Structure 1
């Protein structure tokens, strides 16, 4: 029995296509993913034409989004008419009364009749498999039971040759533009961290635009994840987002980016983030000067400036991480304002300062924005800020990581009781005594 689908006929280059809508239940019953076709695998087409489905992405992102979001939406699924006979019958062939205004468009509207063959997902396999998992009861959500009645847009293309089909698949995937991280933060209405990050830029919030000489000045670059040397912006939206996750995590809160928190929860999370960013911006003199006159930021960010690391996104996150950790009972039990006052006493944040070498500054003098580097800098900052409140064991661990990062064989030196190899003392903290290599030997005894 032939499959009949209402559609609009179109042509792009040499390719005729048919655009239609299908109920999800009909799509799942009549269309097949390539991974389910034995003949495709035998012909080698699956390996050449279709990516292996990412089941983690389907299970963790697409399925929860579709099952839980009443505003769910996605673009067209491209379906290949595989080895079937295709016939298009426009409405002009059976409709006797078509108003003159519609006669120009009517020949493109009609019904596609597909006899034999199979309908195969050419692009949109992950969306298809997510819909199928929901239909099969693999996820429970507010919209899971009704999703089979949804309608999705489908573009039907007839298989003419293996070469042409592969070329279409390759083109659709190669030139599809993946949204940037910044775009996702700006547009997401489900990711609670993104919502809070955006609100940090609102009026009366710590990172709101400032008026300088009567003109609004943005403190946050939301178009890019990096800052140029000439940028007069303090940080990036991506950094604000990461700081939100750090701050909420420190308060025992883990957000599911696919599930929107309640309005009350968002307000609570926003206040948590504000109580960290606000004292940092108000308590660090370098930031105070920058906010008063953002035109000075490029100079403050210069590699040789004594404030340079404070204006680099990676080290900003390390600072926030350290300040949060010094508030815990194990690492200082300092209130955020007191911790900031101490951080302001650190003598230099220059990228040229020796104490940052190997920690967050690479051997070539550039900043290391990797996760491990940010963690190393946060460790060192915890010591610099709260050395007088840390246990010897905790300082010993920081000392080991500091020396290892700077290329020293710590284990060999300890095993020889300080006779073989070289190690360094930790830098002088703002409060308390310096943790020396002699202290390390004593702690290791």
Structure 2
């Protein structure tokens, strides 16, 4: 017989029971649907396929290494076992006299089974597999943390009411709904809240400590970093978005040696480094940003004046006491991603000691970036990254069609312009051909030659 202290509750058509189980008991008692049902027809194949790689590489390691480990409730279906709920009355206990509500007498009690029941996971099968994998120790997994077998987890039990087929239909429905309406937290929330991901921690620290990104928290939003959504719009005051800044920080900190150690991987971001490591990483990251801002003074300009597609370079708009309106690639997410990649590559190639850089050396490596014409209406960006609307003449927008290829070609051109890649005559010709094939709308041949000459002369 199995007996559980429980709370009974009801929602919709379901009566369910909230119990706690020891980790060791959970592993022994709760199975996966495919272990219970021999029939593999589509009508019974109701269990979501398990991602074993994710379980072993992420969840098991989280359980083994995080002292703050915590799982929410696992939802299980109970089949058979003649379940019986026996309520416990609280009427006779004087300390509950003030409550005086009858429903409490039907809420707390004992749920018993005769031992012939089967439990299988309705929601939380990856969590269940991780606990099983860790406790069974059949594969190469971390050691079991001390006391983990006796730790407890909340389990929500749904008890069979009808015949098998009706119950299975209800089970499929609730399984589908649990997974359909479960919504992962968005990227901004993860960056703001994550206390294990080093890059999230460092990105937040930039907003608190770095003079360029500093936000005192008194205003509703940061004046420099947009904290909701990745895309930026013309006229907005933000230099960048939280998501873009986070991704740039990963790129900037990923040296070749760290990359070999899977630094920045999803697995790496699940475990918080020591405070000493975080301080060292922040000092390094802060130095990179100091040097980037010193090397490219335009980054300090008023962002509300730096993202205007309608203003061509030859038609810059001037207003008294304001920066001229322009369309600067480094104030758009595409350009900022390219900037971080080029900066990291320059540092990899030119720093005398990658593991112990100083501000003077980093700034010297990056100052070549200020020699690039980042104005989007200038070649090679115009008609490559910034394209004219095919319907509305004179309306320009960031490219969406063949965007990936355009970014790849932009990166190749930047590497050539910055001297990272030294191309021979054939290499330059091939790159020009790739660039030309992506231009929208296609300029006339004379214009193409003039634009490419501008690019070539900047090498």
- TM-score, with normalisation over the residues of structure 2? 0.78
Change in CA separation of 1:217 and 1:107 when aligned onto 2, cut-off 3 Å: closer
Partner Cα separation in structure 2 for residue 83 and residue 378 of structure 1: 62
Residue matched to 1:319: 339
Structure 1 residue 320 displacement after superposition: 1.7
Seen in structure 2, the aligned counterparts of structure 1 residues 338 and 367 have a Cα distance that, compared at 3 Å, is farther
Of 403, 407, 410, the residue aligned with 2:437 is 407
Deviation at 1:398, TM superposition (A): 6.7
Determine which of 298, 308, 312 is the counterpart of 2:328.
Answer: 308
2:445 maps to none
SS at match of 1:301: coil
Task: Say yes or no: does 1:75 pair with 2:72.
Answer: yes
Unaligned runs of 5+ in 1: 291-296, 409-421, 436-445
Q: Within 1, Cα distance between the matches of 2:153 and 2:92?
A: 30
Aligned to 2:195: 189
User: Aligned in 2, Cα 1:250/1:359: closer, same or farther, shift over 3 Å?
Assistant: farther
Where does residue 355 of structure 1 map in the other structure? Answer: 380
Residue 120 (structure 1) aligns with:
120
Which residue in 1 is equivalent to 2:184? 178
Q: How many correspondences in the alignment? A: 405
Kept in 2: contact 1:331–1:390 (CA 8 A): no
Distance 1:245 1:279, change over 3 A: same
- Residues 1:202 and 2:208 are matched in the alignment: yes
Cα contact 1:219–1:232 (8 A) shared by 2: yes
**TM-fit CA distance, 1:180:** 1.1
2:423 and 2:69 mapped to 1: Cα distance? 54
Measure, in 1, the Cα distance between the counterparts of 2:41 and 2:207: 55
Show CA shifts across 1:51-94 (max 9, x none). 1111122122211111110101121110001244221001129x
Unmatched 5+ residue regions in structure 2? 162-166, 312-325, 354-359, 390-396, 439-447
Is 1:168–2:180 an aligned residue pair? Answer: no
Task: Provide closer, same or farther for how the CA distance between residues 184 and 397 of structure 1 changes in structure 2, counting only shifts above 3 A.
Answer: farther
Distance across 2 between alignment mates of 1:121 and 1:166 = 12
Q: How does 1:23-422 map to 2 (within 5 A)?
A: 23-39=22-38, 41-42=40-41, 44-46=43-45, 49-92=46-89, 97=93, 99-101=96-98, 104=101, 105-115=104-114, 116-137=116-137, 138=139, 140-141=141-142, 144-160=145-161, 161-209=167-215, 217-250=222-255, 252-253=257-258, 254-255=263-264, 256-290=268-302, 297-305=303-311, 306-329=326-349, 335-350=361-376, 352-356=377-381, 359-361=384-386, 365-367=397-399, 373-384=406-417, 386-387=418-419, 390-392=421-423, 397=427, 400-401=430-431, 403-407=433-437
1:364-413 C-alpha deviation (Å, 9 max, x unpaired): 542459666544433322322x33x75345x96576345324328xxxxx
For the residues of structure 2 that align with 1:26 and 1:62, how far apart are their CA atoms? 19
Conserved in 2, the CA contact under 8 Å of 1:330 and 1:390? no
- Comparing 362-371 with 17-26, greater Cα deviation is found at 362-371
Please, which moves more after superposition, 15-24 or 221-230? 221-230
User: SS of the residue aligned with 2:112?
Assistant: strand
Residues 134 and 144, structure 2, Cα contact 8 Å, conserved in 1: no
Q: Secondary structure at the match of 2:27?
A: helix
Name the SS for the 1:190 alignment partner. Answer: coil
> Structure 1 residues 139 and 152 mapped into 2: Cα distance closer, same or farther (>3 Å)?
farther
Contact 2:256 2:348 in 1 (8 A): no
Structure 1 residues 211 and 24: alpha-carbon distance in aligned structure 2, compared to 1, 3 A threshold: closer
